[in-house]
Structure 1
Amino acid sequence: MMNLSWCVNNTNTSCTVDTLQGLAYVPVFFVGFLVNAAALRAFIAMRSSWTDTHIYMLNLAVADSSLILFLPFRIYDAFCSLPKTYLCTFLIYTHFINMYASILTTTAISVQRYLIIRFPMQARSWRKKKETAFAVCLFIWVLLVTLGAAFRKDNYPNNLWTCYERCKDKPLNPLFIVLLVFLGFLAPLVIIVFCSSQIIWILLKDTDKSEEKKSSIGIVTANMVVFIVCYTPIHIAFVVNYFAKVPEDWRLNHLPAHVYLLVSEWIAATNCCFDSVSYYFLLKRFYL
């Protein structure tokens, strides 16, 4: 991400990539801001009737909103280039902590839905469901902040090429990559696919084909597909970039693997907009 004066005097492809980044994140910010602001407003308005599901959804909305609120820094950096300071370290970790908070909360919601559908009678008698949901959400944030603090030096200014990009000749800690890919994605992916598939199968077997159950099948399927589409590319990119060979002139050109990483980061960020589908189905009765 070069500054504007550099871009005016050069035709390097990195300038085009950076400009496209800035332009691509603008609609994500505005759409994400509007839908998440509306969701947070609705959650606050109905706080007296919260269930454990509302707590999970509120946590998802908080994670998405936090990621969205810091996107203007990334947009500004794409056009004007922020200086490499510890603010950049904070922005990088804030972005990814909120992304993984969204991933893990979505996983918790899938498990909760599965347990309710699979064990409906027992679910009615479960006690302290709201307290459990709050504890799970708190655990997610504590875990992610702890991991971020433990690996904070990986994104210190001396390891950064620009505010949002690491030096390509300084790969991330391999343990960090393993945690991101396996704990942060593959494990949640397996859980979400299993729970969603079981929910769909149970509802399809039910002789009651009400519109509500059809809607439930649709939302569970949509959430699973959106999760796979949004988060698979970026974790492939983490692995590819870690093993990609770095040429001597890496500072002058964006490598194909690195461009793929930038695109996949944008795709992952769009999940903040797609989560609004879940909010709609949960809150439509409140509005209507």
Structure 2
Amino acid sequence: RAIIVQCEEDILQGVGYSSVFLLGFVVNAAALWAFIAKRKAWTETHIYMLNLVLADSALVLFLPFRIYDAFICMPVCVFCTFLIYTHFINMYASIWTTAAISVHRYLAVRFPLKARSWRKKKEMAFVACLVIWVLLITVGAVFWRDNHPENLWMCYERCKNIPLHAQFLVLLEVLGFLLPLLIVMFCSSRIICILSRDKDKSEEKKRSVSLVTANMIVFIVCYTPIHVAFIVNYFNVVPENWTKLRIPQHTFLLVSEWIASTNCCFDSVSYYFLLERVYSVSQRKPQNSCI
């Protein structure tokens, strides 16, 4: 049964998510248009990028509910559970697709000749994207009750005295963030190293290095705070400097969720419109590897 919660409007959240929605809608719509209207030949790169755009677009399209909840509280019901899992499934789909793209870029740059001769690359990319969605939906189904209405005190917020299951937290932190983070950092650093050490340091390669570096930094900045907030909330530990600054851990969680959502505005630009340079650069001639 729906539970009506008396709460105050949160103008900052409403304005913050409204800006993410407007910008995210524009850039993702532009990316989808570029894929559908202008794409004539599909490669495995475009399959990964399309999956990333779809994940970000799905996250953006459900943001109006969060905006509405910020200004006018929605009743706590099963639909809130659906909204929460939809938001985070799309977020982690974006995280893992980013990791898959990083691996794909690294292999293309590190082994350019072999990469061109690999067979069924598009099929492998499609299977990788499908596996990501199946695993995330399965995890969401298994831990569905963690965000069931009786564990929520507002539509998008859990009861402060009911922590997540330890197994769920470990999955979110290790498989959902730390593992893809290590993959992105390793692959990005190798790409930067290979392109930087190449004797042919063209402007295009310099731009590619800058873009890979920027993408790695954006990934770290967007997704690190929210996973730190998960741990802080679970153990109910507030750092001493937070206490001095009067920063409640609940506020930190809300801000970190907003920061994570802003990634949907960067992905389309960095991966589709700009980062595709890395793949084209790698196909011209073999690169020197780092020692």
Tell me if TM exceeds 0.5: yes
Aligned to 2:274: 281
Q: Among 184, 191, 208, which residue is 1:216 paired with?
A: 208
The answer to whether the 8 A contact 1:64-1:98 is kept is yes
Mapping 1:228-267, distance limit 5 Å? 228-244=220-236, 256-267=248-259
1:236-286: CA deviation from partner (whole Å, max 9, x where unpaired): 00000001169xxxxxxx9811110000000000001111222211579xx
Aligned to 1:111: 103
Instruction: Measure the CA separation in 2 of the matches of 1:36 and 1:47.
Output: 15
1:59-89: CA deviation from partner (whole Å, max 9, x where unpaired): 0000000000000000000111011111000
Aligned to 1:12: none
Flag the 1:239–1:6 CA change in 2: closer, same or farther, 3 A. Answer: closer
1:174-199: CA deviation from partner (whole Å, max 9, x where unpaired): 10000000000000111110100000
Listed as ranges, the gaps of 5+ residues in structure 1 are 8-14, 247-253
The answer to whether the 8 A contact 1:4-1:80 is kept is no
- State the 1:5 CA deviation: 8.6
TM-score for the superposition, normalised by structure 1: 0.89
Aligned to 1:66: 58
* RMSD over equivalenced CA pairs, Å: 1.9
Flag the 1:112–1:45 CA change in 2: closer, same or farther, 3 A. Answer: same
Q: Among 161, 170, 175, which residue is 1:178 paired with?
A: 170
Listed as ranges, the gaps of 5+ residues in structure 2 are 239-245, 278-291
TM-score for the superposition, normalised by structure 2: 0.88
* Count of aligned positions: 266
Aligned to 1:10: none
The answer to whether the 8 A contact 1:4-1:79 is kept is no
Aligned to 2:262: 270
Instruction: Measure the CA separation in 2 of the matches of 1:115 and 1:283.
Output: 14
Aligned to 1:249: none
- State the 1:48 CA deviation: 3.0
Give 4+ residue runs of structure 1 displaced > 3 Å after superposition. 3-7
Identity across the alignment (%):
67
Mapping 1:1-288, distance limit 5 Å? 7=8, 15=9, 18-244=10-236, 256-275=248-267, 276-281=269-274
The answer to whether the 8 A contact 1:181-1:235 is kept is yes
Q: What is the SS of the residue equivalent to 1:171?
A: coil
- State the 1:124 CA deviation: 1.0
Q: Which amino acid aligns with 1:35?
A: V
